[in-house]
Structure 1
């Protein structure tokens, strides 16, 4: 067990959990990034609710949101770390896991500070429906991200997170990876979005996405895909210039992504002049660490009927 506040020790143990033969593309990194993003992306600037503080996904009200389907695996992968470092809060652990994963998979350093507290009940869990719907377009992206306080440039930068991971038919309803190496952080997402001939395809479940089928690919090779929200990035007149800039300049993208992701995981966090978090739960004060949960992945059951698509 580490001493309370020894986040370097936690970082090392997160990095050791990334290698996952048999899970997706062999890495837990992408699901850690998605966990950090979804635990933070519920923030509403007007009401100052949601965000990473509290780790509300521990409760069915948030964890059972169809938008969070599959994240139970990421949470379970982190349970051995929680057991080894019981002092750390889930809200710190989940956000730190995303930051570590991005760096370990070749991405930029992202500023991160601890101090988040875990809620003691679900009374402050934000309502469902605050996360992006991948089947929509530019107006929807602005509605979701403006609510959190992001601008158009930051929206495009954050979309670069699609350099990692893939979609799953039994989670979002979409299927396939965005890039050829979904466990290596790069600016390939933007390059491929502009360079390839993306064609619409309706899936067996009724969902529509865009695919590129390489004519030289092997018969059983999985085609790359893009979401309708991804395609909106290159057709919207304000988003498109940033797509082009990030496709051409990896360093610029890394810099802007780092700043936007650091902002994302700090949404709703209030700190004093010394950087100490002053948010508390509704019963206790200070750094409240919730009890360890199960190492077994438990989450919302597979949806029945039409899926509500999410990123």
Structure 2
């Protein structure tokens, strides 16, 4: 597997035209100057100016920029670029542009070894080597390792688009979180989950809520139980963006409810407080969603309702062939004792 990965990496770097030895002059100039002088990034340069990011990308850095060519911008629907360049759409433009920037200098030799990379936007781009090509989300890297004084440029053939939907909107579009959304509304938490501060949500599916004893959900949705419902929901939320690799490496996460979540992975089983992780790293404009198969209960709630302890499930981690996202597939369910 290691040797195969090595040869794929070498082939990919050859396919995208890794620049070596001929970039001494470019390395003396910053990212913006290099892009402008190349002559094929006029739209990107105009967008950086409109977004107020020119001075930032002329700064010390270092930065890694996945730079869309003018042809890449031309592939967007008619009027998209003109709309983004309008002053009233500056925030949206900045969100798109910063989604193309990774902090640090990440050369092609490193890129091809990654499954994903966190951008300055906050969301992650998915990376995969496919048929000798390096793909960043749906874009293909057509030229790599253009060295600059404050970083490095990799040229891509499509504009990368971050998620524009917040956490509730992302969950609504998925169609499998109707109970969770109804609960968030009843608890008065929709506005919080729609805010600007990044959050990580461990989202129980409708099937997860259906595992609770009959009448539990209906009881929690009553106005008199709003405080209890809010506490349970907040126990599923962690401040900041915490992607799956960090969830497993940190092992313990403090929720906005105040309680602690414990992550574990052993022999292909990935759990968070006993709930199985069935899908991870679903980006939203204001955070990230990890899908779980059971409702997690805060310690106080668990003590009162021990009969609803989540079932334990066995999962195998794999990488989605289309998105490159790490997910976990349930292969066996262990009954409660």
> What's the TM-score once normalised by structure 2's chain length?
0.22
The structure with more radius of gyration? 2
| Structure with larger RCO (C-alpha < 8 A, sep 6+) | 1
The structure that is helix-richer by fraction is: 1
